[in-house]
Structures are given as C-alpha cells and as structure tokens.
Amino acid sequence: MDSPKGKAALGVAYQIPRNTLALLMIAQVVVIVPYLLHLSPWLIAVGLFSGYWRTRVYQGVWDYPGRLVKAVLVVASIAAVVLSGIEGFSLEAVSSLLIIAFALKLIEMKNRRDAYLVIFLSYFVIAIQFLFDQSILMALYELVAIVVVTAAMVGLNQLHTQVRPLVSLKLAGALVVQALPFTIVVFLLFPRIAPLWSVPLPNSSTTGISDELTPGDIASLTQSDEPAFRVIFDGERPPSSELYWRGLVYSEFDQGTWRVGPRLLPQAPRVSLEDGLRYAVLLEPTFRNWLFALDLAEPGTNSVRPTRDFRLEASEPVLSVFRYEVRSDPRGLLDPGVLPEFIRIRETAIDPTSNPRLTEFARSLWQQTGSAVAFTEAVLRSIRQEEYFYTLQPPTYTGAGTIDQFWFDGRAGFCTHYAGALVYMLRVAGIPARMVGGYQGGELNPITGHLIIRQYDAHAWAEVWQPETGWQRVDPTAAVAPARIEQGLSAALSAADRSSLSIFSNARIGDWAIAGSLLELIDSVELRWNLWVVGFDGNVQSGLLKSLLGELTPARVGMAMLGGGGLSLIVVLIVLFWRRRTLPRHPVELAFSRFAARLAAQGYPRRPEESPSGFVTRIASQVGLSDAQVGGVIAELDTLLYNPSVAWGNAELKQLKRQLRRLQFRLAFGATR
Amino acid sequence: MSSVDGRTFPERIIGSRFSAWLDKRVPPSPQITLSQRNIFIFPTRTGFVFSGLLLLLILGAVNYQASLVYAVAFLLGSLFLVTILYTFQNLSGLQLELVNARPGFVGEDLEFTVRVVRPQGKSREGIQLGWPSGIMQWAELLDKEADTVRLYVEAQRRGYQDPGRLLVETYFPLGLLRAWTWVDLNARALVYPKPVFQDFPISQQGPRDEGQLIDPFGSEDFRDIREYRPGDPTKHIIWRSYARSDELMVKQYASFVEPRLWLNLDDVSGGIEEKLSRLTGMALKATRQDREFGLKLGNLKLSPGLGDAHLETVLRELALYGFTER
C-alpha cells in the first residue's frame, strides 16, 4: 500500500499558503505607505526593498536572503534611522524601529508563527499611524488596511491548495463589517482613563506655534494650511478683528529670539464669569500643554486650568484632538491695579545694548511722549506713516542687533518683527510689555457655522501693562496692514507673497469659489469627525452618556455595555445561522435513513461501518436476492449521495424512494419465506 | 503528529475524567451531527497573544489619549468576538458518518472512510479530522456539500481495533480560536496478523487419515516397492513381505505436491501469535500462487477454496482466533 501517511509527513514542513503570502506583501505596502509623510524615505526604501525581495522569493526567482544580506539590511536600516535625524526616544524612533522589524521579519518569514508575527506587527503599525494622523481619510484608509491584514490571517486558515485572495478578502471584509457595531458600543462605553505614564512624543514635526519665537517662524507657518483648531460658538460670535486666540506669552528676549521664560507659579488669578462668550475648541494635536482661547478665559473642562499669565493649559500634552469648553469675557481686565513686583521685573527685563540704535530711538521718544499710551501711539504712528512694509518674505536679519536692522534698514517684516520691536522699545522705556503668540481670525464654515483656524492664521502681538487697564493688547500689525486683521491674511499679502502659498491655501483664501465651497464641505465633515470620534474623550463621553443613561453608575454603564454588545453580536449570529435553520437535511440521506429505520424494525439493523450501498448489498445477499434485483438501487444511492457532479432533481428522488420501498417489500417477503 | 497531540489545555488538565464525561456528553453513534451539545471552543495560543496585543494597544491609547488607537483595539477585540461565532458555526451542523473501515495487517495503516456533510447554504472551510494516533486530514466543504475523508491509523494488534474518539477541529477563520469535538463513530476495523512468509511445511499435505481426497494424483498414490533404507518411515515397511523373506521392503508413494493446502495451526512452529503470522503469510502466498487452501484452527475447519472472498474469510478467522468478539 502506498502509505498516505508518508505523503502527509512530507507536508509537515509547514508552508505559508501562497494566498496569505500575496496578501501579506500587499498589506506591507498598504501599511507602510502612510509613513512616507513622517519617516525618512531611506527607511521606507529599506521596507519596500525587503518587500520586493520577498516577492522575488514568492515568485521563486530568488532565494531567501543570506546572512550577509540580512546584516547589510539591518545596518542600512539603522543608518536610515540615524540619517533621518531622529533624536532620542521619540515616537518617530519607536515607529522606525517597529517598521524595520516588520520589514525584516517579512523577508525571512517562513512558517506559520512568522506569518502571525508579521500580521500582529502590521496591526501595531496601523495603530501607531493614528498617533501621527487621525483624520477621517486616514481612518478610512487604515480600515481598508485592517481588512487586508485580516484577509492574510484568514488565508492562513484556509486550505493551502487554493490561491484565492479575493475569497479571503471578502470574508475578512465581512468579519470587519460585522465587528463594527460591537466596536461602536465599546468605543462609546469603555471608560477613558488618564495617561498612566509619559510616552515618547513625535519630534516637533507638527507645525504650530512654539515656545520660542524668532522673527520668521510665523512667516514659515503661513506656508501651512493645516487646521490648528476649530471653534464652535454657543451663541454670539465676535467680529473677526476681535478674534485674538491667545496661546503663549513670551517674556524673555535674547539675541533675536523671544522665549517663554521660567514657569510662573501656578497661583492662577481667580476668574469667575457670569456671562460672556461660550464656545468649545477642538484643538488638533500640538504635543504641548498650551491651549488657545480669547481673553479673558475661564475653562469649562476639568483637565484645563488657567495660568498666572491668563492662558489656559491642559494637564497633559495634547496628543490627540482635544476638546475643551471655554467661557470668555472680552471686557475682563488682566492684572488691573498693581502688578506684582516679580512680574514687573520679568516683563521689563531687557538688554538695552543688544540693539543700541533702537534703544537710543526709544529713549528719545520716551522723553518726547512721557506716558505709556502716548509712547505706544507714537510708535504705531511711525509704523503707519513711515515706509514700513508687511511681507511674508522679509530680508533676513542676522547677527547682532536684528531689531535695529529691521527697524532702521529693512523696514519690511511680518507680525513678529513689528510686535518684537514694539515690546523692545516699551521695555527700554521701563513699561511692562510682553510678546504674545497665538492665532488671529479664522474662517467661518457656512455649513456647520464653526470657525476653523489654520496654521497660516498664526500671529504675534504685544501686551502693555498700565494700572488702569491691566494688560492690554497692542497689535502693531494692525497699523502696518489693517487688512490682515480685518479680512484675513490674503488681503494683506502682495502677489509675490500669495504665489508662495499652496494651491489649497489660495483656494481657501477665496480665489476659486467652487473649490472653496468643496473644501468647506470637507471641513464640515472633518469637524463632525473630530467632534464625535477623534475628540471623544472622558469629558465628551460622560456628557453623552449622561444624556443617554441619566445618572452614571457602573451598573448602568455595565448594563448598557451588555445590552448593546449582546444586540450587536446577535445580529452577527442571525447573519450566520439564519439560512441554515430553515433548510432540511440532504433529501437522499433522509430517504435512506427512513428506509434503514424500517429495515431495522424488520430485524435487519445497519452495521456502524456500513455505507448505504454496503448495507443493501449485505442484506440482499443474506436474504438471497440477486444482483439484478438490487443493483439499480445501489447504483442510484451511490450516485445521488456521493457524486456531486451529477445533477438530480425531484424526479430522481421520487424514483429512488419507489425503488427503496419495493426493495423493502422484497426483503419482507424474503424474510417470511 | 504535534497537530493532534497539541491538545489545548483544558483537555490536558482534565485528562481521563474528561473522557468519562465526554462519553456521557457525546455518546458513541455511527452518525453524529455537531451542535452546541458537543462542540467545544477555546482560544489558541495565537489567540492569547492576540489578546496581549489588544492590551498593549489599549495601553498605548490610554497614554497617548488617541481615540482612533482605542478604536483599532476595540475593532480587533470585536473581531475576536465575532470569530468565536464564526469558528463555532464552522463546525456546527456538520454531520459525520463512518462509511467504511478497511481491514489491514498489523503494522500497516487501517483506512477509515468518514463522510462529512455540511448543511446546505454556508460553505465550510478549514475543517480537519483525525485520530490521535494518525494524521489530521482536511475536509473540503467549500464548493461541495459533502466530502469523504480517508483517515489512516496504524494497526497495532490482531483483532478488532477501535481507534478511539475522532478529533474534529477547526481554527477557521482567523486561527485565534479552536473549536473541536471528540466524536465516537463506533469505528472499528479488523486487524489481520502480521504476515510472516516461509515455505509451506512438508507435513502440510493434508490430513490423510480422513481420506476424503478424490484426486487421482493425490499423495496417497502407490508407485513402487524398494529396499528399506535407514530413515524411511516405519509406517511404509511391508511387514507381510518381511515375514516371508526377511527382507525389509518399503512401499514407495508418489510424492506429488498436493495442490490443495491445509493450513494447520498445529503444523507451524512458534508461539501462538507467531503461528498465526506464519499461517497468514502462507494464506497470502497460496492465494498469490493460485493454490487452493483450507484452514484448520483448533476446532474450526474451513474447507479449501480460492479467491479474495475465501482469503478474507480465512484472514478474518486468523485475526479473531481466540477472541469471543465477532
């Protein structure tokens, strides 16, 4: 006998089904591609190269890489990480290493365990992508990626002999779709807890205002049309020229750079507002604690607290879209009356020798004016009346005395230049003044009625302190380019400046009406996505659940989880079992088992090991029926039961039943004789 | 055969009690339909690793406060739950039936044919069956509603061999869970003694004292008379002639080879199993040489015959010699 055991033993050396291999290679590309935006192209190259190698192995052209090739690949990958300039233990470093591991594992993947490892790593790589980007498009993309990876897992459990990736994909798609209702239930009900420990953050690759401001920083921000945050006003919305989104206060000036300076003690001034503007902010991830709000702000969210300099701060860095409620009183005063001495010292500190020409200018101006108001007015007047220009591409001011160079030589600059010069002059005159960074303005989306503030709305202005008014906002940009404040960036820009912006920015600014309204539509979808999915944190959750369930007790949440979860799984059960319940057994089998039962009653039981035809043959020979008498029935039984290629219908079934009945009579007759 | 011995841990822990409980839970029957009564389901090791991955993802989501990382973790978790239903459903409703159990010789493989039928409608994939002592086979139920699977179990000892409970399992669709059952299809196959081949012994020329042979060229034919030589059987000495002539004469018989053999347990050497093995070998050899043969096993006597049916009867008697079970 040709031992089938021997044949099977050869197959014991497990081979990953080709179906799965193909899907895994597709999955690898799908999963790595979004990282093109965040990681070094070198790294992506290593990943895709190993994918290519694996494809050649799959096609049977190349062999698995030898030890030398593997070593070269590892060295190349590490070199890629180093070359990409990733510093320390950042999110980029972690994801880079993960992708290297993933790519290199794929290339030498041989057995089932390797395949599962690659699949699990793929899921991980998909999840980590969301730490960089949680937009709705990325979510849809990664959902498809999850289907592809799951299809590879399905392929691992299908019969090896069939290469049908489409079947696996279809099944994986069905599984994922059927898992979605339960996912939504858990997503809504799973308790959100505060971070357990601090985690590696992405390098400051995200655009946005930083805690160090060098003139030119904000000008480069105008190149980006990424959203910074969205605001939903509850009721009245102030005019655009009043929308100064205050985020950072720069108190230190050194060698042309403004810095936030040492942290002030967190003894926040009590702000308690009865009325004022009410709004919710959906801040895109900044990986920093600072938040943006209109003056004078009181937080309405637990994890947000006010600071000594009247800003708002989150208790944790904003790693994901963060939603916070704010109440602002535009008439509120900041530090009116007496300025504490430590703040006065902090906000008047300046090195008058750093820009000697401007120091000289400020001192003579102070002698002419004598009061802070008049002094400020005089500076603004000279900006307005003399030849000063507002531009995104100012000449570069380098070396010592950058403010001198700007004020006296270049006379062209962006908001930071003007605000910086003003604060410098005020401090030289001994008046407390500081630089403030944030955003100004915002576009109204007519579909949802929310404001969107983009990176190109970044702005810097000055604050001057006086006993009667406290800290008051002074924006020299309004003096040089009033249109910037009233109508937004585009109105203030020259044609040369505008050509330096991206197509999208120009479209948004209003060059093409149709494209603009399409972008508004996309933005309104994104708002809802951020509102209900990305920004769904503990605060939003408890608000929603309270409105759905009333008082939040663990028992109620548990019941909701059980009820919702059970319901969504019952849907899957119905899909799976519905058709089966209504269908009977194989009709031929049913007919035969009835026949066998009747014969057993007559004293001819069927032996366990007997096939239907074997049973008939044995009984026939026992009773003494000839082959001619039973041959037809046996042939018919075998055909209908075991030959799937023969089509049969009711006529054949009826005939078989008749034959069986006749046979039963013959046997009964034979037995009595 | 790690695939079969790699039983998941509930069985390994519960051990023999499990099998006693199983006998009640899934009683032996030649035809069994799988349902929630007899299907077990438990995560595989991969499933546990997968759960670990989910925990890691949730930790990451907590620390990064990333809603969509939560969403990925929950989606994968839901996938796991949905898979429980899928894996269970993959076995549920399957009908198993033992179609045939082909006998074999000790040391060879016994072939059991099991027919697996799925209910109409949803196709089934990745269903494996096998006995703990054999190799798992796949049942292909993707495009067709029934599949017959041939399973091989090594024949251990002469007599009826019961391979025990049949393992039916599936890891479909994701391999995170294993649904399985142990069914007893009342399978038993006849195991013939291991054949030992040797020459037919000379004395196996049939029981002469019964004289029922009619063959004119039978071994009893007298041929000649010659002088006695030492070593001649004393039976053949013609004592009447010795009384007359003082000469020892012996009758010579034609030693034609008897075409119909008698295989007698008493005519072969060795222990009882060895004797049965030798007889088995002879029966096979005789059939191959197209020689009629009969069998004598203690009280049992099978008259000589030829052909596969006869050989099967003989082998069956050899296999079951000494057993009461038929």
Angle at B269 between CA B110 and CA B305, to 5 degrees: 60
For residue B58, give both structure tokens: 């949730």
Q: What percent of chain B has pLDDT over 70?
A: 83
Indicate the residue among A108, A141, A157 that finishes a domain: A157
Smallest CA-to-CA distance from A116 within A131, A106, A104 is with A106
DSSP conformation letters of B220-258 = T-EEEEEE--TTS-GGGB-HHHHHHHS--EEEEE--PPP
A355: in domain? no
User: How far is C-alpha B277 from the geometric centre of its chain's CA atoms?
Assistant: 17
Is the minimum CB–CB distance between B94 and chain A shorter than 8 Å? no
pLDDT tens digits for range A356-388: 999 999 999 999 988 888 999 999 999 888 888
B187 lies in the same domain as B89? yes
Please answer yes or no on whether B76 and A123 come within 8 Å at the CB atom. Answer: yes
Annotated catalytic residue A234: no
B248: in domain? no
Tell the residue number behind the tokens 């050396």, with chain if given.
A13
Please answer yes or no on whether A4 and B152 come within 8 Å at the CB atom. Answer: yes
Amino acid A223: pLDDT: 74
B307: in domain? yes
Test the A interface: residue of B64, B152, B312 with most A CBs within 10 Å: B64
What does the alpha-carbon distance between residue A120 and residue B311 come to, in Å, rounded to a whole number? 59
Please answer yes or no on whether B86 and A576 come within 8 Å at the CB atom. Answer: yes
Q: Which domain holds residue B150?
A: 2-191
Amino acid A653: pLDDT: 82
B177 lies in the same domain as B216? no
Q: CA of B49: which chain A residue's CA is closest? A: A120
From first CA to last CA, the distance across chain B in angstroms is 32
Supply φ then ψ for residue B141, to 5 degrees.
-125, 25
Residues of A with Cβ-Cβ distance to B53 under 8 angstroms = 120, 123-124
Please answer yes or no on whether A320 and B67 come within 8 Å at the CB atom. Answer: yes
A130: in domain? yes
How far is A6 from chain B, CA to nearest CA, in Å? 10
Is the minimum CB–CB distance between A179 and chain B shorter than 8 Å? yes
B106 lies in the same domain as B6? yes
pLDDT tens digits for range A399-457: 778 889 899 988 888 888 899 999 999 999 999 999 999 999 888 888 888 898 988 88
How far is B64 from chain A, CA to nearest CA, in Å? 6
Indicate the residue among A157, A191, A209 that finishes a domain: A157
Considering only CB atoms, B126 lies closest to which of A158, A197, A534, namely A158
Number of other CB atoms surrounding residue A408 within 10 Å: 13
- Average predicted confidence (pLDDT) for chain A: 82
Annotated catalytic residue A309: no
Q: What is the 3-state secondary structure (H, E, C) of A188-216?
A: HHCCCCCCCCCCCCCCCCCCCCCCEECCC
Residue B244: exposure state from Cβ atoms within 10 A (0-12, 13-18, ≥19): exposed
Q: Are B108 and B155 in contact (CB under 8 A)?
A: yes
pLDDT at B113 over 70: yes
Smallest CA-to-CA distance from A259 within A208, A212, A218, A215 is with A212
Mean pLDDT of A150-165: 80
What does the alpha-carbon distance between residue A24 and residue A108 come to, in Å, rounded to a whole number? 13
pLDDT tens digits for range A503-535: 556 555 555 667 777 878 888 888 889 888 888
User: How far is C-alpha B322 from the geometric centre of its chain's CA atoms?
Assistant: 19
Tally the domains of chain B. 2
> B173 versus B18: which is more confidently predicted?
B173
| A46 Cβ contact partners less than 8 Å away, ≥ 6 residues apart | A73, A76, A77, A80, A100, A103
B124 lies in the same domain as B269? no
Annotated catalytic residue A409: no
B167 lies in the same domain as B291? no
> A330 versus A2: which is more confidently predicted?
A330
| Alpha helices per DSSP H over A159-294 | 165-189, 217-221
For residue A53, give both structure tokens: 């190698």
Residues of A with Cβ-Cβ distance to B153 under 8 angstroms = none
What does the alpha-carbon distance between residue B173 and residue B283 come to, in Å, rounded to a whole number? 51
B201: in domain? no
Q: Are B78 and A180 in contact (CB under 8 A)?
A: yes
B41 lies in the same domain as B77? yes
Confidence band (pLDDT; 50, 70, 90) for A312? very high
How far is A175 from chain B, CA to nearest CA, in Å? 7
Amino acid A581: pLDDT: 47
Distances (CA, A) of A648 to A114, A641, A656: 47, 10, 11
Is the minimum CB–CB distance between B309 and chain A shorter than 8 Å? no
Residues of B with Cβ-Cβ distance to A322 under 8 angstroms = 65
B107: in domain? yes
- Tally of helices (H runs) and strands (E runs) in chain B: 7, 17
Indicate the residue among A97, A123, A157 that finishes a domain: A157
How far is A648 from chain B, CA to nearest CA, in Å? 14
Q: In the beta sheet, which residues pair with residue B181?
A: B168
What does the alpha-carbon distance between residue A671 and residue B14 come to, in Å, rounded to a whole number? 50
pLDDT at A480 over 90: no
Considering only CB atoms, B82 lies closest to which of A127, A175, A316, namely A175
Amino acid B76: pLDDT: 96
pLDDT tens digits for range A238-295: 888 889 999 999 999 888 889 988 887 766 566 666 678 899 999 988 888 899 999 8
A91: in domain? yes
Number of cross-chain residue pairs from A and B with Cβ atoms under 8 Å apart? 209
pLDDT tens digits for range B193-248: 999 888 776 544 444 444 344 333 334 556 677 777 776 767 777 777 777 777 77
Q: Are B110 and B102 in contact (CB under 8 A)?
A: yes
Supply φ then ψ for residue A245, to 5 degrees.
-85, 100
B182: in domain? yes
A82: in domain? yes
Considering only CB atoms, A179 lies closest to which of B79, B100, B152, namely B79
Q: CA of A565: which chain B residue's CA is closest? A: B78
Is the minimum CB–CB distance between A643 and chain B shorter than 8 Å? no
pLDDT tens digits for range B114-162: 999 888 777 788 899 998 878 888 888 877 778 899 999 999 889 998 8
B239: in domain? no
> A665 versus A90: which is more confidently predicted?
A665
User: How far is C-alpha A395 from the geometric centre of its chain's CA atoms?
Assistant: 38
B142 lies in the same domain as B65? yes
Distances (CA, A) of A202 to A86, A87, A117, A208: 9, 10, 26, 13
A375: in domain? no
Please answer yes or no on whether A644 and B82 come within 8 Å at the CB atom. Answer: no
Tally the domains of chain A. 2
Residues of B with Cβ-Cβ distance to A182 under 8 angstroms = 74, 78, 81-82
DSSP conformation letters of A588-622 = HHHHHHHHHHHHHHTT-PPPTT--HHHHHHHHHHH
Q: In the beta sheet, which residues pair with residue B95?
A: B33, B117
Is the minimum CB–CB distance between A283 and chain B shorter than 8 Å? no
Q: Which domain holds residue A22?
A: 14-157
How far is A631 from chain B, CA to nearest CA, in Å? 19
Determine which one of A415, A450, A457, A523 is catalytic: A415
Is the minimum CB–CB distance between A495 and chain B shorter than 8 Å? no
B212 lies in the same domain as B187? no
Amino acid B2: pLDDT: 34
B163 lies in the same domain as B217? no
Q: CA of B175: which chain A residue's CA is closest? A: A157
What does the alpha-carbon distance between residue A272 and residue A299 come to, in Å, rounded to a whole number? 10
Q: Which long-range contacts (CB under 8 A, 24 or more apart) does A439-442 make?
A: A439/A209, A439/A228, A439/A229, A439/A245, A439/A247, A439/A292, A440/A243, A440/A244, A440/A245, A440/A475, A440/A484, A440/A485, A441/A240, A441/A243, A441/A485, A441/A488, A441/A489, A442/A231, A442/A240, A442/A243, A442/A245
Test the B interface: residue of A91, A124, A159, A606 with most B CBs within 10 Å: A159
pLDDT tens digits for range A600-639: 887 787 776 677 888 888 888 877 777 777 778 888 888 8
B170 lies in the same domain as B262? no
Please answer yes or no on whether A157 and B174 come within 8 Å at the CB atom. Answer: yes
Is the minimum CB–CB distance between A579 and chain B shorter than 8 Å? yes
What does the alpha-carbon distance between residue A53 and residue A364 come to, in Å, rounded to a whole number? 74
A133: in domain? yes
B280 lies in the same domain as B186? no
Smallest CA-to-CA distance from B160 within B200, B96, B232, B104 is with B104
Q: In the beta sheet, which residues pair with residue B32?
A: B96
pLDDT tens digits for range B39-96: 999 999 999 999 999 999 999 999 888 899 999 999 999 999 999 999 999 998 899 9
Cα torsion A310, A314, A317, A323: sign? negative
Test the B interface: residue of A118, A123, A301 with most B CBs within 10 Å: A123
pLDDT at A671 over 70: no
Please answer yes or no on whether B135 and A5 come within 8 Å at the CB atom. Answer: yes
B174 lies in the same domain as B299? no
A141: in domain? yes
Please answer yes or no on whether B72 and A179 come within 8 Å at the CB atom. Answer: no
How far is A124 from chain B, CA to nearest CA, in Å? 7
Is the minimum CB–CB distance between A544 and chain B shorter than 8 Å? no
Please answer yes or no on whether B66 and A535 come within 8 Å at the CB atom. Answer: no
Amino acid B219: pLDDT: 47
Determine which one of A217, A475, A497, A523 is catalytic: A475
A55: in domain? yes
Q: Is the peptide bond before A330 cis (omega within 30 degrees of 0)?
A: no
Is the minimum CB–CB distance between B57 and chain A shorter than 8 Å? yes
